[in-house]
Amino acid sequence: MSYPPDVAVTAEPRSWALETLIAAGCPDAPGDAQLLAAEADDAEGLRVAVLRRAAREPLGYVRGRTEFRGLDITVDPRVFIPRPETELLVEAALKLPEGARVLEACTGSGAVALALKNERPDLGVTASDRSAGALAVARANAERLGIEVMFVEADGIAAAPGGPWDAVVANPPYVAEDEAGTGSLPAEIECHEPPEAFWAGHDGLAVVRRFVAELSGVDRVAFEVGDGQAAAVGEMLRAVGFGSIDTLHTAAGHARILSAQR
């Protein structure tokens, strides 16, 4: 749904925002309307923000930021917006040994690496991404938050300078390209977020397969996986010598994080 640029705020602003977002089919219209109304400087700011959201632009891009484990993370269309369930990836990594050297691949906005370093300052954290634009966002987040993480432009694990690593954590792309255009993904993702951040081959496992093949010398790993992928990724990890595998589940019961040790 799109709106002409001269649409005006009518009636009470919060009610208008709510009605507009409900009509647009936004999944959490009440929450979005409340947040946008609270943050708007004036009626014009609210109008612009609500119409952007009504066009199904992600809330994080409309606001310019999102919250991740208590950190205020700046986001824009150069990066995939970190989701609350990805906080489980940090939970898994918090159990790493004192002083471990960690690589976070596919860092995007830097949210995972920054949260991990913030909560475990003893860890040596390096974060990589193949996108120069994403790294610019991540570095800006690190500077603003005052958290020291090394960011490097690299595609995957083997290409990242500084290895071998004690541990690797990653939220890699894991959506099957066969789902493109089927409506299985929310419009917010498929139409707005960077496609290289979520498409991963016909079955969604292309990037994970490559990453697993690059784990030589790595003793611990944690990957975020898609629904129904945990068993397949677990078998991949066992095939390269990881014998102890734990699974972390979302509140809805979905297997989302595989944490493994040799």
Residues 226-262: tens digit of each pLDDT = 999 999 999 999 999 998 899 999 999 999 999 999 9
Cα–Cα distance, 172 to 185 (Å, whole number): 17
Quick one: 95 and 169 in the same domain? yes
> Within a domain: residue 136?
yes
Whether residues 100 and 32 share a domain: the answer is: no
Taking the alpha carbons at both ends of the chain, their separation in whole angstroms is 50
50 and 162 in a single domain? The answer is no
Asked if residue 96 belongs to a domain, the reply is: yes
Q: Look at residue 12 in the predicted model and tell me its pLDDT.
A: 81
The number of distinct structural domains making up the chain is 2
Indicate whether 29 and 159 sit together in one domain.
no
Burial letters 64-83, b for 16+ CB under 10 A, else e: ebbebbebebbbbebbbbbb
The per-residue pLDDT for 36 is 96
224 shares a domain with 142: yes
Considering the domain architecture, whether residues 34 and 111 belong to the same structural domain is answered as no
Going by their DSSP bridges, the two strands 124-129 and 220-224 should be labelled as unpaired
Same domain flag for 113 and 91: yes
Is residue 77 domain-resident? yes
Give percent helix, percent strand, percent coil of the chain, each to the nearest 5: 40, 20, 45
Residue 239: inside a domain: yes
Does 186 share its domain with 90? yes
Burial of 128 (0-12, 13-18, 19+ CB in 10 A): buried
What token pair was written down for 81?
């917006």
On whether residue 7 sits in a domain, the answer given is: no
The pLDDT value recorded for residue 219 is 96
Task: Tell me what pLDDT residue 123 has.
Answer: 98
Whether residue 160 lies inside any domain: the answer is yes
pLDDT at 10: 56
One domain for residues 99 and 168: yes
DSSP codes, 129-189? ES-HHHHHHHHHHHHHHT---EEEE-SSSTTSTT-S-SEEEE----B-GGGTTTT-S-HHH
pTM for this structure? 0.93
The verdict on residue 3 lying in a domain is no
User: CA separation (Å) from 163 to 104, 110, 167?
Assistant: 12, 19, 10
If residue 244 lies in a helix (H) or strand (E), which one and from where to where? strand 244-249
* pLDDT on residue 9: 54
Q: Are residues 165 and 212 in the same domain?
A: yes
Residue 157 sits in the same domain as residue 36: no
Q: Which domain holds residue 203?
A: 70-261
26 with 119, same domain: the answer is no
Instruction: Tell me which residues of the chain have a pLDDT lower than 70.
Output: 1-11
Does 145 map to a domain? Answer: yes
Q: Residue 142 in contact with residue 108, Cβ under 8 Å?
A: no
Q: To the nearest whole percent, how much of the chain has pLDDT over 90?
A: 91
CATH at residue 211: 3.40.50.150
